[in-house]
Amino acid sequence: MQFGYQTRLERDTKRWIEKELIDADTADAIISESRSQKSGYSFSSIVIILGVISLCFAAMTFVAANWEEMPKIMRVSLLLAGMAIAYLASVLANQRSMPVIADAFVLLGCGIFGATIMLVGQMYHMQGRAQDAVLLWAGGSLLAALVLRASTALWLAIALFGLWMWFDSIEKIDFKEAQINLLYLVFWFICAALAWWLRSRMSAHLLLISIIGWIFITVFILTERYDTPIFLTGLYAFWFVAIAMAIISHDRGQWLRGAEAVVIRYSVMIIFGIVTLWIVEGASELARHPTYAVSENRYLLSMVAMLIVALAILAYAMKQKSSQIYDLAFCAIWIGASIFIASSVGVRIPYLAEAFGIALSIWFIRMGARQDIPEVTRMGYLGFVLIMLLIYFRTAQSLLGTTGFYLTAGILMVAGAIFLPKLFRTKKTEPEVA
């Protein structure tokens, strides 16, 4: 149970008693029930996991310290014995119904496995790419997560696959022939399926952070390519579908097992990142390549597919008489708008991407308020300011004077900051019409 939730509940129950909505006994019953809900991970469990992470680092620094006297094969044997002890300890912990400790020992076993790979590579002068060693480590950790159903090993595997993707990308990022690392997506989906099966919330966070990293690295790899803006357009359309799916999931039965708000938060973050890059790179890139026929563009086709999915979700919501039709419709509208932008090949529309970014920011502010996800509202405000700044960098020396821009932007932002929240508060206090 979150500290923030408990405090809010106590404050709310006090107010409800004052308004005579509930009596004091009911309030006490609600608060004591809430307090009885223990978190899955107690403080001592967290300390144990942190301790095991420290032991992993200890094992690795032990390797780095180069133990001089022992024969090589003895050193390897010692580490393999340490790995075996860690796994056997996890078996004992599992038999004693201590799943968190069992998971911690599985993590230790995987840590020692990685340390052994590093040691063998160093001791036997195995030359080669660092990413190959990381990939082997990630594969071993994924195996442990799958076979032993250990979330901790999955966290490590996700982090290592991300590291592998990073190593692989920095090797390729400086030349134009670099290919998008599609193999990473295969690993990502396997990890995602496993995270869903294990109901691992932490893994979901790590997966989302990793995919954001992949998207941005991919964009950098593609920067020099003529179809980058369209690629970005196609790519970000997917995240509107993700938002739509999270909204309908929350409304109809929590198919994502309570991770809906997280998906929306990360999707908004990714969309903002892509739109910002899109603005920086210039949507007008499209206009520079008029011979690039839209009908031949596979990214546009994927975008149309995303629009169909978004419309299908909207149709389902309407059939179910969902209260979320407004936001679901907007998800489809944004994808439709992006198809329009991508289709306008050869037609240079000034500040199209910037206008799109501002419109999106306003929707995020509103959606955050409607869905009661304050982070999305904050990101909306932040995005609004960011896009205004980007417009400033484009217009300061041309259309507008710097002072004029600051004046306009300032008035808009202050007005937005003061009036928009008030408008939402007013709307929220109005009684809902059935």
Partner 1 sequence: MVRKGFFAGAILVMALQTAAIGAMIYKRAMQLQTGAEVVLESGFVDPRDLFRGHYVTLRLRVGDLKFGEIETDRKFSRRDFVFVELKKGDGQFWVANKLWHEIPAGTDKLFIRGAITRVPDKAGQSYRIGFAYDRYFAPKKRAKELEKFRRDQKLGVILSLGKNGLGVIKGITVDGEIIYNEPLY
Sites of contact with partner 1 (CB under 8 A)? 66, 68, 72-73, 76, 80, 83-84, 87-88, 90-91, 94-95, 97, 99, 102, 109, 113, 116-117, 120-129, 136, 140, 143-144, 147-149, 175, 177
* Helical residues (DSSP H) of 282-324, grouped into ranges: 285-288, 298-319
How far apart CA 114 and CA 64 sit, in angstroms, is 13
Q: What is the nearest approach in angstroms of partner 1 to the Cβ of residue 125?
A: 4
- For partner 1, the closer of residues 99 and 282 by Cβ is 99
C-beta separation of 140 from 113 below 8 A: yes
How far apart CA 191 and CA 145 sit, in angstroms, is 9
Q: What is the nearest approach in angstroms of partner 1 to the Cβ of residue 174?
A: 10
Q: If you compute the radius of gyration of the chain from its CA atoms, what whole number of angstroms results? A: 26
- For partner 1, the closer of residues 42 and 323 by Cβ is 42
- For partner 1, the closer of residues 143 and 180 by Cβ is 143
- For partner 1, the closer of residues 18 and 177 by Cβ is 177
Q: What is the nearest approach in angstroms of partner 1 to the Cβ of residue 85?
A: 10
Q: For residue 196, which amino acid is it?
A: W
Q: What is the nearest approach in angstroms of partner 1 to the Cβ of residue 144?
A: 5
- For partner 1, the closer of residues 97 and 397 by Cβ is 97
Q: What is the nearest approach in angstroms of partner 1 to the Cβ of residue 153?
A: 9
- For partner 1, the closer of residues 122 and 402 by Cβ is 122
- For partner 1, the closer of residues 80 and 293 by Cβ is 80
Helix (H, G, I), strand (E, B) or coil at 92: helix
Q: What is the nearest approach in angstroms of partner 1 to the Cβ of residue 133?
A: 9
Q: What is the nearest approach in angstroms of partner 1 to the Cβ of residue 115?
A: 11
Q: For residue 166, which amino acid is it?
A: W
C-beta separation of 292 from 345 below 8 A: yes
**In Å, how far are 6, 133, 177, 299, 414 from 118, measured between CA atoms?**
46, 7, 30, 41, 55
- For partner 1, the closer of residues 125 and 319 by Cβ is 125
How far apart CA 402 and CA 395 sit, in angstroms, is 8
User: Phi/psi class of residue 22: alpha, beta or left (left: φ > 0; alpha: ψ in -120 to 50)?
Assistant: beta
How far apart CA 198 and CA 181 sit, in angstroms, is 26
How far apart CA 345 and CA 343 sit, in angstroms, is 5
Q: What is the nearest approach in angstroms of partner 1 to the Cβ of residue 108?
A: 12
Q: Is 22 exposed, middle or buried (0-12, 13-18, 19+ CB in 10 A)?
A: middle
Planar angle of CA 352, 388, 277, nearest 5 degrees: 60
Q: What is the nearest approach in angstroms of partner 1 to the Cβ of residue 157?
A: 12
Tokens 């008030």, residue located:
422
Altogether, the residues listed in the chain come to a count of 434
- For partner 1, the closer of residues 127 and 295 by Cβ is 127
Q: What is the nearest approach in angstroms of partner 1 to the Cβ of residue 257?
A: 18
- For partner 1, the closer of residues 104 and 215 by Cβ is 104
DSSP letter string over 30-71?
HHHHHHH---SS-HHHHHHHHHHHHHHHHHHHHHHT---SS-
